[in-house]
Amino acid sequence: MTTMPLHRLAHARTGDKGNRLSVSLIAHDPADWGLLTREVTEARVLALFAHRGASAVRHYLVPQLHAMNFVIEDALEGGSNTALCLGAHGKTLSYLLLGMEIDPDAGKYQPL
Protein backbone atom coordinates (compact mmCIF):
# COMPACT_ATOMS: atom_id res chain seq x y z
CA MET A 1 0.00 0.00 0.00
CA THR A 2 1.34 3.42 -0.97
CA THR A 3 0.23 6.41 1.05
CA MET A 4 0.46 10.16 0.65
CA PRO A 5 -0.14 13.13 2.94
CA LEU A 6 -3.61 14.59 2.71
CA HIS A 7 -2.26 18.06 1.86
CA ARG A 8 -1.42 16.82 -1.65
CA LEU A 9 -5.15 16.47 -2.39
CA ALA A 10 -6.81 19.12 -0.21
CA HIS A 11 -6.47 22.31 1.75
CA ALA A 12 -8.08 23.22 5.06
CA ARG A 13 -9.56 26.12 7.02
CA THR A 14 -10.03 26.07 10.76
CA GLY A 15 -11.68 27.93 13.57
CA ASP A 16 -12.36 27.48 17.25
CA LYS A 17 -15.13 28.26 19.69
CA GLY A 18 -14.46 27.44 23.30
CA ASN A 19 -13.14 23.88 23.46
CA ARG A 20 -14.56 22.95 20.03
CA LEU A 21 -12.45 22.92 16.87
CA SER A 22 -13.93 23.19 13.38
CA VAL A 23 -11.82 22.04 10.40
CA SER A 24 -13.06 22.34 6.83
CA LEU A 25 -11.31 20.14 4.28
CA ILE A 26 -11.62 21.16 0.62
CA ALA A 27 -10.47 19.05 -2.34
CA HIS A 28 -8.05 20.75 -4.75
CA ASP A 29 -9.56 18.67 -7.57
CA PRO A 30 -13.25 17.63 -7.56
CA ALA A 31 -12.15 14.24 -8.95
CA ASP A 32 -10.60 13.44 -5.53
CA TRP A 33 -13.83 14.10 -3.58
CA GLY A 34 -14.81 10.40 -3.40
CA LEU A 35 -11.38 9.36 -2.16
CA LEU A 36 -11.41 12.04 0.53
CA THR A 37 -14.84 11.02 1.82
CA ARG A 38 -13.74 7.37 2.00
CA GLU A 39 -10.38 7.98 3.64
CA VAL A 40 -10.98 10.95 5.98
CA THR A 41 -13.58 9.55 8.36
CA GLU A 42 -14.83 10.64 11.76
CA ALA A 43 -13.02 7.69 13.35
CA ARG A 44 -9.69 8.53 11.72
CA VAL A 45 -9.96 12.21 12.64
CA LEU A 46 -10.83 11.31 16.24
CA ALA A 47 -7.79 9.03 16.42
CA LEU A 48 -5.60 11.78 14.95
CA PHE A 49 -6.72 14.29 17.60
CA ALA A 50 -6.89 11.79 20.51
CA HIS A 51 -3.57 12.98 21.96
CA ARG A 52 -5.18 16.42 22.37
CA GLY A 53 -8.06 14.96 24.40
CA ALA A 54 -10.66 14.97 21.60
CA SER A 55 -13.80 13.18 22.78
CA ALA A 56 -16.00 13.17 19.66
CA VAL A 57 -16.00 14.11 15.98
CA ARG A 58 -18.93 14.90 13.72
CA HIS A 59 -18.55 15.60 10.04
CA TYR A 60 -20.76 17.37 7.57
CA LEU A 61 -20.43 16.86 3.83
CA VAL A 62 -20.67 19.82 1.46
CA PRO A 63 -20.63 18.08 -1.94
CA GLN A 64 -21.36 21.26 -3.91
CA LEU A 65 -17.97 22.57 -2.76
CA HIS A 66 -16.21 19.18 -2.69
CA ALA A 67 -15.62 19.83 0.98
CA MET A 68 -16.39 18.49 4.41
CA ASN A 69 -16.40 20.07 7.84
CA PHE A 70 -15.23 18.26 10.97
CA VAL A 71 -16.36 19.46 14.38
CA ILE A 72 -13.95 18.12 16.99
CA GLU A 73 -14.99 18.26 20.64
CA ASP A 74 -12.55 18.87 23.52
CA ALA A 75 -9.46 19.29 21.31
CA LEU A 76 -8.42 22.75 22.53
CA GLU A 77 -7.22 22.16 26.08
CA GLY A 78 -10.33 23.84 27.48
CA GLY A 79 -10.41 26.71 24.99
CA SER A 80 -8.26 29.76 24.38
CA ASN A 81 -9.15 31.36 27.72
CA THR A 82 -7.94 28.42 29.81
CA ALA A 83 -5.25 26.69 27.72
CA LEU A 84 -1.59 27.16 28.54
CA CYS A 85 -0.58 27.17 24.86
CA LEU A 86 -2.45 29.67 22.69
CA GLY A 87 -0.54 28.72 19.52
CA ALA A 88 -2.28 25.34 19.42
CA HIS A 89 -5.68 26.80 18.64
CA GLY A 90 -7.66 27.27 15.47
CA LYS A 91 -5.44 28.02 12.50
CA THR A 92 -2.46 25.90 13.46
CA LEU A 93 -4.40 22.65 13.82
CA SER A 94 -5.36 22.40 10.14
CA TYR A 95 -1.80 21.19 9.56
CA LEU A 96 -2.35 18.22 11.85
CA LEU A 97 -5.23 17.05 9.66
CA LEU A 98 -3.39 17.82 6.40
CA GLY A 99 -0.50 15.63 7.55
CA MET A 100 -2.77 12.56 7.75
CA GLU A 101 -1.56 9.76 5.48
CA ILE A 102 -4.19 8.42 3.08
CA ASP A 103 -4.20 5.57 0.57
CA PRO A 104 -4.83 7.01 -2.92
CA ASP A 105 -5.85 3.56 -4.18
CA ALA A 106 -8.58 3.09 -1.54
CA GLY A 107 -11.82 1.97 -3.14
CA LYS A 108 -10.33 1.63 -6.65
CA TYR A 109 -10.47 -2.13 -6.67
CA GLN A 110 -13.68 -3.86 -5.81
CA PRO A 111 -13.67 -7.63 -5.14
CA LEU A 112 -15.35 -9.77 -7.81
The domain that holds 65 is classified in CATH as 3.30.70
Residue 72 lies in a domain: yes
Residue predicted with more confidence, 17 or 69:
69
How do residues 28-75 score in pLDDT, each as one tens digit?
Answer: 999 999 999 999 999 999 999 999 899 999 999 999 999 999 999 988
Output the pLDDT for position 82. Answer: 56
Q: What is the pTM of this model?
A: 0.84
Residue 9 lies in a domain: yes
Range of the domain at 35: 4-102
Which helix (H) or strand (E) covers residue 49, if one does?
helix 42-49
Angstrom CA distances, 67 to 6, 26, 83, 92, stand at: 13, 4, 29, 19
Output the pLDDT for position 112. Answer: 45
Output the pLDDT for position 56. Answer: 97
Tally of domains within the chain: 1
d(CA 77, CA 96): 16
Answer whether residue 104 shows pLDDT above 50.
yes
